[in-house]
Amino acid sequence: MSDSGKRGQAPDADLCAYLDDECGPGQRRRADSALTQDPTLARKLAVWRRNDSTLRAAFSAHPSQARAPNSTNPPIGPLEISGAGTQKRRMDLAIAAAFLAGALSAGGAFVVVNLIVN
């Protein structure tokens, strides 16, 4: 626990360490004392504890069904840029170009034949 914790005013980071059982025996005693003296701090700890439980329950109950957070933020992008889409688009363009070239050649040949015949 930091110096502020030693003075009896556990900052939020110390409160977190207390909640997560990441502090030593001395720090725990000081935090216990601060929590007894400060109802606001005790209330904050209770709220955090409750939110932790809600969080675990929300994602642990059905891990396979857990879904990404609400759509206020859209899902993040792909891990890497996929080349598959680009390749398919190139293939489509090549087919379209070949078809266009064929059509132009046929049209040109038709015009030439018409000119010769007439």
Partner 1 sequence: MVARISSDAFDDQLELGLRRFAQAVGFDPGQVDRAVESGLHRARSLQGAGAITREEGRPVAYGVIARAFLVHAAARHAMARRQTPASCKSARLTPVTVDQPPCSEVERLRVGLTSLPPLERAVLLLVVLEGLSYSQASSALGIGRVECAQLLAAARSGLALRLEPARARTPASGRPQLRLVT
Hey, what are 3's tokens?
């110096």
C-alpha–C-alpha distance, residues 35 and 52, integer Å:
19
Q: Does 83 bind partner 1 (CB under 8 A)?
A: no
Q: Does 85 bind partner 1 (CB under 8 A)?
A: no
Task: Assess contact for 6 and 28: CB atoms under 8 A.
Answer: no
Given 7, 20, 87, 101, the residue binding partner 1 (CB under 8 A): 20
C-alpha–C-alpha distance, residues 42 and 65, integer Å:
34
Q: Does 9 bind partner 1 (CB under 8 A)?
A: no
Q: Does 67 bind partner 1 (CB under 8 A)?
A: yes
Given 5, 17, 34, 41, the residue binding partner 1 (CB under 8 A): 17
Given 8, 12, 33, 37, the residue binding partner 1 (CB under 8 A): 12
The one segment of 17-25, 30-38, 96-104, 106-114 that binds partner 1 by CB under 8 A: 17-25
Amino acid at residue number 87 = Q
Task: Assess contact for 7 and 13: CB atoms under 8 A.
Answer: no
